[in-house]
C-alpha cells in the first residue's frame, strides 16, 4: 500500500480495527507502522486526519531512532500534505523521504522519487514531474510497474501527449482493474480517452470510477471533474455544470482543494459562455481564493527555496561522491602499483622456472620424437603385414577358384590330343578300311571338347578380372553395387582361402540375402575388404573351437543382408550380419576390439588392424559397425550332468549398417 503510493479505499471496519490496536499498542516500532497505516487510509477521505497520524508516526520513529519508520512516516506525511494542498511542506517531506531512503533501503527509492514527482505534478511543473517519474520507473520492481505506467499516463495527459497517455493508461488499467486502485486508474484512463476525443469510452470509465470511489473523496472528485470536462467538450453545458456542482456540493474544502479549484474554474467558464455574469463572477471568486491559498507568493518562494536547497544538496552529494571516487582511485592506483610489483616478482621467478622446465621439456620432446619415429615405422610395418595377410587370403581364394576351370581346360585338352591321335590313325588307312562314321564321331567329340575348353577358359578369365578389380587400390569413388553379390563373392573367397592353407578345415556356410535391397552406392573395394575381414575372423573363430574334438559341434558361419525401412526423417538403411557359433569374445576385451593393434590371436597370427580399418571404412561411409557376443561357458566337470565336455558358446555376430544413399 505504501510502496506504490496508491489511493486506498478506506474501509471503516478496518480503520476501527487499527484504531483499537493503536489504543493498546506499546511505544515501539509496531505503533509507528499502525500510525503510518492509518495516515494512508485517511488521506483519500480526510487529508487533515492523515497529516495528524503521519506526524505522530514521525515523532515516535525519531524518538525510537527507527530509520525505516522515519521514511514511512515522512512519505505518509508528504502524501497527505499533497492532497490537502500544502505543496511546499509536501515537497520538503518528499525530499526528506528520498534522502532517508537512499541511506537505509534502496528498495524504497523508487517510491520516494514518485512522491517528488507527484508534488511537481500538482504544482503544474509537468516536465520536472516527467523527469522524476522516469527515474522512478527505471528503478521500479516488477510489482510496481503498473503504478509506474499509471503515473506516466497521468503526466503525458497533462503534457497533451495523448497517444503516450493512452498507451500507458491501458497497460496500467489491465493490471489494476479489480484492485483497490481501480477508481484511481479508471478516471486516469478516462482522461486518456478524453484526450483522444473518445468521449463515450471516457464517460463509461468515469462512471466506473464514481461507482468504486464512494469512500474516496479524491478519486470521486477527479471522476466528477472528468465527466464535467467531457460534457463541456460536447457542448452539453447543463450536464457539465451539474457534475461540477456535485464537486462543490461535496464540501471538500481542505480535503482536496485542487479538485475544488478545477470544478470552480469549469463553472466560471460555463457561465461565462452562457452570458451569466453573476454566476460566473461567483465561481471566479471561489477559484481565486482557492488558487491564492494553494499558490500564494509566499508558497511559491518557499517551493523555489526548497528546489534550490535540494539542488545544493545534490551538488554536495555529487562532490562528496567525486571526492570519494578520487580517493578510491588513488588507493586503487597505489594498490595497483603494489600488485604490479608483486606480479613482476612472481613473473621473474616463474620465468626462471619456466626456462628450466623448457630445457627439460625439450629433452623429453626429442626423446618422444625419436620414440614416435620408431612407432610410425612399426605401425607402417604392421599395416603392411595386415595388407599382406589380406592379400594372402585373396590369393588363396583366387587360386582355388581358378583351379577348377583350369582343371577342365587341362583335362579336355588332354582328351582332345588323344582323340586327334586316334583320328590321324584312322586317316592313314585305306579307303576300304576307314570308318567314316567313326571319324565323324571323333570330330564331333573334339568340337564339343573345344567348346568346353573355351567356356572354362572364359570362366577363369572372368574370375581373374573380377579379383583384379577388387584387389586393386580403392579409387575412393562410390559405385552402384549389388551388395548381395559382393557378400557372396567374398564369402567364397574367404572359405577357399582357408581351405587352401588348411585342407582339413571345414565349415557350414549359410546365407540369407534380402533381394529387396537392389544396388546401393558404396566403394566396393573398401566394403569388400570389410566383409572379407569379418568372414575370415568368423572362420578363424569356428576353426579354433573345432580343434577341440566334439562330435556334436558343427562349425557354422552365417552371412545375411536386410533392408531397414526409413523411420521418420531418416532414410532407409541396409544391414549386413556376419555370425559364427565359435567361442565368442570375452567381455573384458569387448570394448577394445576396434582399437588399432589390439588382437586376441596368438603372436604372429594377427596385427590387430583388421577390425580397426573396417571400423574406419564403415564410418567413412556414414554407417556403423557393432558386435554382439556370448562367451563360451566353462567345460562341465567329470561326473556332472553336463552334456557339453568342451563348454558351450553362442558365438559372435558383427552387424554393419550402411545408409542406402
| Domain residue spans of the chain | 1-125, 303-460, 479-659
> Which pTM was predicted?
0.45
Q: Is 639 left (phi over 0), alpha (psi -120 to 50) or beta?
A: left
Q: What is the pLDDT of residues 523-545, one digit of tens each?
A: 888 898 899 889 999 998 898 88
User: And the C-alpha cell for 216?
Assistant: 474516496
- The 10s digit of each residue's pLDDT in 294-342 is 766 565 666 666 665 666 566 665 666 677 777 778 888 888 889 888 8
Distance CA 145, CA 143 (A): 6
Residue, of 467 and 261, whose pLDDT is higher = 261
pLDDT at 73 over 60: yes
Q: Which of 33-47, 160-174, 634-648 has the highest mean pLDDT?
A: 160-174
pLDDT of residue 640: 38
Q: Residue 607: which of 405, 382, 345, 387 has the closest Cα?
A: 382
pLDDT given for residue 321 in this prediction: 63
Q: Which of 82, 145, 142 is nearest to 117 (CA)?
A: 82
List all residues 6 or more positions away from 284 whose beta carbon is below 8 Å from its beta carbon: 264, 268
Burial readout 376-386 (b: 16 or more C-beta within 10 A, e: otherwise): eeeeeeebeeb
Per-residue pLDDT reduced to its tens digit, 499-519: 877 778 888 999 999 998 888
Is pLDDT of 9 > 70?
A: no
Q: Who's near 555: CB < 8 A, 6+ residues apart?
A: 506, 507, 508, 542, 543, 545, 546, 580, 581, 582
Residue 443, pLDDT score: 85
pLDDT at site 167:
93
Specify the range with the lowest mean pLDDT, choosing from 5-14, 297-306, 447-456: 5-14
Is the pLDDT at 86 greater than 80? The verdict is yes
SS3 30: helix
Is residue 467 scored above 80 in pLDDT?
no
Only one residue has cell 575370415, namely 536
2 in Cβ contact with 147 (< 8 Å): no
Contact indicator for 483, 574 with CB cutoff of 8 Å = yes
pLDDT digits (tens, 9 = 90+) for 91-124: 888 888 888 888 887 688 888 899 999 888 888 8
> Are the C-beta atoms of residues 653 and 627 closer than 8 Å to each other?
yes
Contact between 415 and 630 under an 8 Å Cβ cutoff? The reply is no
pLDDT given for residue 142 in this prediction: 84
Architecture, CATH, for domain 1-125: Alpha Horseshoe (1.25)
Q: Is 557 helix (H, G, I), strand (E, B) or coil?
A: strand
- Say what the pLDDT of residue 312 is: 58
> Among residues of the chain, what percentage have pLDDT more than 70?
82
Segment among 213-227, 350-364, 382-396 with least mean pLDDT = 382-396
- 589/155: higher pLDDT: 155
pLDDT confidence bin for 2, thresholds 50/70/90: very low
Q: What pLDDT, on a 0 to 100 scale, did the predictor assign at position 59?
A: 92
Q: Which residue has the higher pLDDT, 145 or 386?
A: 145
Question: What confidence category does residue 1 fall into, taking pLDDT thresholds of 50, 70 and 90?
Answer: very low
pLDDT reported for residue 103: 85
Interval 206-210 mean pLDDT = 86
Average pLDDT of span 129-147: 87
Taking the alpha carbons at both ends of the chain, their separation in whole angstroms is: 70
User: What's the mean pLDDT in 140-167?
Assistant: 89
Mean pLDDT computed over every residue of the chain: 81
Give the separation between CA 287 and CA 285, rounded to whole angstroms: 5
User: Which tops the pLDDT comparison, 278 or 253?
Assistant: 278
Neighbours of 118 (CB within 10 A): 24
User: Which CATH number describes the domain made up of 479-659?
Assistant: 3.30.565.10
pLDDT classification of 557: cutoffs 50, 70, 90: very high
pLDDT score at 637:
44
The pLDDT of residue 625 is 92
pLDDT at 470 over 60: no
Please give the backbone phi and psi of residue 572, each rounded to the nearest 5 degrees, phi first: -65, 155
Residues in CB range of 520: below 8 A, 6 or more apart: 480, 481, 483, 574, 658, 660, 661
Amino acid at each position: 500500500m505504501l510502496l506504490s503510493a496508491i489511493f486506498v479505499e478506506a474501509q471503516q471496519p478496518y480503520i476501527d480495527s487499527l484504531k483499537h490496536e493503536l489504543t493498546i499498542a506499546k511505544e515501539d516500532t509496531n505503533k509507528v507502522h499502525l500510525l503510518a497505516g492509518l495516515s494512508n487510509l485517511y488521506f483519500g477521505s480526510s487529508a487533515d486526519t492523515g497529516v495528524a497520524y503521519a506526524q505522530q508516526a514521525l515523532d515516535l520513529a525519531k524518538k525510537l531512532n527507527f530509520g525505516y519508520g522515519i521514511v514511512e512516516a515522512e512519505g505518509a506525511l508528504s502524501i497527505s500534505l499533497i492532497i490537502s494542498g500544502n505543496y511546499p511542506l509536501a515537497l520538503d517531506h518528499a525530499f526528506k523521504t528520498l534522502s532517508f531512503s537512499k541511506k537505509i533501503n534502496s528498495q524504497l527509492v523508487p517510491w520516494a522519487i514518485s512522491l517528488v514527482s507527484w508534488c511537481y505534478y500538482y504544482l503544474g511543473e509537468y516536465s520536472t514531474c516527467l523527469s522524476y517519474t522516469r527515474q522512478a520507473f527505471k528503478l521500479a520492481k516488477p510489482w510496481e510497474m503498473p503504478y509506474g505506467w499509471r503515473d506516466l499516463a497521468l503526466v503525458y495527459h497533462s503534457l497533451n501527449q495523448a497517444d503516450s497517455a493512452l498507451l500507458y493508461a491501458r497497460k496500467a488499467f489491465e493490471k489494476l482493474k479489480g484492485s483497490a486502485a481501480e477508481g484511481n486508474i479508471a478516471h486516469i484512463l478516462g482522461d486518456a480517452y478524453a484526450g483522444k476525443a473518445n468521449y463515450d469510452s471516457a464517460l463509461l470509465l468515469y462512471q466506473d470510477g464514481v461507482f468504486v470511489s464512494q469512500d474516496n473523496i479524491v478519486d470521486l472528485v477527479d471522476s466528477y471533474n472528468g465527466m464535467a470536462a467531457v460534457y463541456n467538450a460536447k457542448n452539453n453545458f447543463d450536464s457539465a455544470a451539474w457534475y461540477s456542482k456535485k464537486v462543490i456540493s461535496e464540501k471538500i474544502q481542505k480535503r482536496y482543494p485542487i479538485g475544488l479549484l478545477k470544478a470552480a474554474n469549469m463553472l466560471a467558464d460555463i457561465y461565462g459562455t452562457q452570458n451569466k455574469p453573476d454566476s460566473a463572477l461567483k465561481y471566479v471568486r471561489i477559484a481565486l481564493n482557492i488558487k491564492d491559498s494553494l499558490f500564494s507568493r509566499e508558497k511559491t518562494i518557499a517551493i523555489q527555496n526548497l528546489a534550490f536547497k535540494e539542488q545544493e544538496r545534490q551538488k554536495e552529494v555529487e562532490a562528496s561522491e567525486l571526492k570519494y571516487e578520487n580517493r578510491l582511485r588513488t588507493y586503487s592506483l597505489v594498490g595497483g602499483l603494489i600488485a604490479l610489483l608483486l606480479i613482476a616478482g612472481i613473473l621473474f621467478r616463474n620465468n626462471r622456472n619456466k626456462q628450466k622446465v623448457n630445457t627439460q621439456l625439450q629433452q623429453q620432446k626429442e626423446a618422444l620424437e625419436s620414440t614416435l619415429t620408431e612407432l610410425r615405422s612399426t605401425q607402417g610395418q604392421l599395416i603392411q603385414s595386415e595388407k599382406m595377410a589380406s592379400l594372402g587370403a585373396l590369393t588363396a581364394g583366387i587360386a582355388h577358384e581358378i583351379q577348377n576351370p583350369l582343371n577342365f581346360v587341362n583335362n579336355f585338352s588332354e582328351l582332345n590330343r588323344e582323340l586327334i591321335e586316334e583320328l590321324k590313325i584312322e586317316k592313314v588307312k585305306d579307303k576300304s578300311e576307314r570308318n567314316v562314321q567313326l571319324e565323324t564321331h571323333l570330330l564331333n567329340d573334339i568340337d564339343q571338347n573345344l567348346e568346353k575348353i573355351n567356356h572354362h577358359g572364359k570362366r577363369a578369365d572372368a574370375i581373374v578380372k573380377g579379383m583384379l578389380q577388387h584387389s586393386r587400390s580403392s579409387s575412393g569413388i562410390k559405385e552402384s553395387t549389388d551388395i548381395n553379390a559382393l557378400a557372396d563373392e567374398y564369402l567364397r573367397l574367404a572359405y577357399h582361402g582357408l581351405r587352401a592353407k588348411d585342407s582339413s578345415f571345414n565349415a557350414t556356410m549359410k546365407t540369407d540375402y534380402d533381394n529387396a535391397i537392389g544396388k546401393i552406392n558404396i566403394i566396393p573395394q573398401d566394403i569388400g575388404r570389410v566383409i572379407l575381414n569379418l568372414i575370415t575372423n568368423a572362420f578363424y573363430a569356428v576353426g579354433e573351437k573345432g580343434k577341440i574334438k566334439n562330435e556334436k559341434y558343427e562349425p557354422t558361419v552365417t552371412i545375411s543382408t536386410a533392408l531397414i525401412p526409413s523411420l521418420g526423417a531418416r532414410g532407409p538403411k541396409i544391414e549386413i550380419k556376419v555370425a559364427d557359433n565359435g567361442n565368442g569374445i570375452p567381455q573384458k576385451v569387448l570394448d577394445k576390439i576396434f582399437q588399432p593393434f589390439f588382437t586376441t590371436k596368438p603372436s604372429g597370427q594377427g596385427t590387430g588392424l583388421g577390425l580397426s580399418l573396417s571400423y574406419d571404412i564403415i564410418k567413412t561411409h556414414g554407417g556403423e559397425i557393432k558386435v554382439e557376443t556370448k562367451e563360451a561357458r566353462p567345460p562341465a566337470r567329470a561326473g556332472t550332468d553336463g552334456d557339453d565336455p568342451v563348454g558351450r558358446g553362442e558365438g559372435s555376430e558383427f552387424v554393419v549398417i550402411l545408409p542406402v544413399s
